[in-house]
Amino acid sequence: MIKALFRTRFSGLIYHNWFKIIFVFIAGQGAVQFVQLLSGFFLIHWLSVEDYAQYSIAFAFQSTAQVLVELGVSGSVVALVGNRVNDKAVLGKYIKGGKFFRNRMFFVVSVICLIGFPYMTWQHGWPIHITVFLLICILLNLFFSGNTAFYITPLMIHRKLKDIYNIQLTSGVCRLIFLWTVYLLSIINSWIAALTTCLTVFYNGERFRKKSKEFIDEPVESDPGTRKEILNYVKPVIPGIIYSAFSAQISLFIIGIFGASENIAEVGALGRLGQIFMIFNMASSTLVVPYLARQSKKHLGRKFLAILGIGLCIALTLITIGFILPEPLLWIMGDKYSHLEGEVGLLILNSSIIFINVLMWDMNCSRKWLWSWIPIVSISSNVLLQALMIFTMDLSTTYSVLIFSVILSIFNLLNKILVTIIGLNKTKNEINLLSEE
């Protein structure tokens, strides 16, 4: 009787805690996302088509560079720490080991930016001083983002979501107010918009670092054994991460090469609509990954499919809205982009497929379903498909570039499904072997 009562109360406490966590996530991430969306859509309205094209290309380089400099190292901390989340020394040594690799990759990626970004802007005839200012913003953002990448992890592991969102909301609101001010003063342009992003990243990183001190004991020097463990974890997926760094922004890169500045601005503006999926992608890394990483192998398949089913329902709902009711989305984007009715549906479709890709990737990583053959099969087949489409399609229009992206996203999803099937089957076989023993 007492045991049953204890179990009932304990279960109720667990459900209460999870409800609280989910509520804080929805409220906090929703508020942060709302402010970011406001900033993004105001920039679409406030910047000229030429300025927005410049800002979009800089943002694409910045996003790609950030993935390249991380190479999945910061994301490996959660999986490698596992259930040792309360051991400050363990958490600290993994963060220190991850920073060892990131600091070295920063110099490599910076050289790539110094060469690639001027080349991309040169063919559009943009002023040299704009290119230089935007390049400085890209490198500053890349440098400052290290603290955010690593020191947000202890807060996520210990479910300090309120602290995370308070910091992000504060910086986001301040950025929005600053952008509004420079707009009223009629001095807003592409590099000022990019600079505000750098300052936001710097503030967030410093605040995360201070907040995470109570959860980690970071050593002075990184441990060689820890570095080796991190490297062994990320090594199988490094080629895939490098590929995904470019493929995530491939629409902007392609239109930047084959299209005009107007097309770049259109693709960049449509990409802002894809931000509505950011809250779902964040839910995947913040809620789903820690949850699945702690689960036993028993009933894993059922939980895996249940989470995937929820994701599919969300994606199908948004796809329906995108094709049937594009007008509200076009109104948000403004008169300069009101002619993109057909493109809006394609953008939402592509973003939905990418969301399912991200969800399945995060779930696979949480169970360490990372095998050396994955990047070989995935990347080689993707490159072949892209080469085929580049040589057979006219990629000088916004619509055709979106078709290109949808086809590529579907193909990537097929790769994730293959890995999931193999992983679930492997888990099932392991459970059967344990039951026989």
Average pLDDT, the chain: 81
Domain boundary residue, one of 190, 210, 235: 235
* pLDDT grade for 365, boundaries at 50, 70 and 90: confident
Is 17 within the bounds of a domain?
no
Helix, strand, coil % over all residues of the chain, rounded to 5? 85, 0, 15
**Residue 43 Cα distances to 2, 170, 296, 386, 437, angstroms:** 61, 19, 46, 31, 62
209 and 307 share a domain? no
The answer on pLDDT for 144 being more than 60 is yes
359 and 296 share a domain? yes
Which of 49-63, 67-81, 224-238, 278-292 is predicted with the least confidence, judged by mean pLDDT?
278-292
384 and 413 share a domain? yes
168 and 37 share a domain? yes
299 and 157 share a domain? no
Following CA atoms 185, 189, 191, 197 in sequence, which dihedral angle do they give, to the nearest 10 degrees? Answer: 70
254: buried, middle or exposed (CB in 10 Å: 19+, 13-18, 0-12)?
buried
Is 244 within the bounds of a domain?
no
- What is the pLDDT at residue 178? 94
pLDDT tens by residue, 407-435: 988 988 888 888 888 877 776 665 554 44
Residue of 356, 358, 351, 415 lying closest to 383 (CA atoms): 415
Is 153 within the bounds of a domain?
yes
pLDDT tens by residue, 295-326: 666 777 787 888 888 888 988 998 888 888 88
Find the distance separating the first CA and the last CA of the chain, reported in whole Å: 34
- Structural domain for 427, as ranges: 252-431
208 and 290 share a domain? no
350 and 397 share a domain? yes
In total, how many domains does the chain have? 2
Residue of 250, 238, 257 lying closest to 408 (CA atoms): 250
**Residue 286 Cα distances to 24, 29, 165, 374, 383, angstroms:** 12, 10, 12, 24, 31
Q: Are 227 and 76 in contact (CB under 8 A)?
A: no
Domain boundary residue, one of 170, 205, 235: 235
178 and 137 share a domain? yes
* pLDDT grade for 372, boundaries at 50, 70 and 90: low
**Residue 32 Cα distances to 28, 97, 207, angstroms:** 6, 30, 16
**144: phi > 0 → left, psi -120 to 50 → alpha, else beta; which?**
alpha
Spacing of C-alpha 155 from chain mean position: 18
Spell out the residues 6+ positions from residue 350 whose beta carbon is closer than 8 angstroms to its own: 274, 402, 405, 406, 409
199 and 333 share a domain? no
Is 281 within the bounds of a domain?
yes
Domain boundary residue, one of 209, 235, 261: 235
Spell out the residues 6+ positions from residue 100 whose beta carbon is closer than 8 angstroms to its own: 222, 227
Which of 147-161, 193-207, 298-312, 362-376 is predicted with the least confidence, judged by mean pLDDT?
362-376
Is 413 within the bounds of a domain?
yes
Q: Which two tokens stand for residue 84?
A: 């040792």
257 and 230 share a domain? no
Is 170 within the bounds of a domain?
yes
Is 160 within the bounds of a domain?
yes
141 and 53 share a domain? yes
80 and 211 share a domain? yes
Is 262 within the bounds of a domain?
yes
Task: Please give the average per-residue pLDDT across 140-145, as a whole number.
Answer: 90
Rg (CA), the chain: 22
Spacing of C-alpha 202 from chain mean position: 18
The answer on pLDDT for 164 being more than 80 is yes
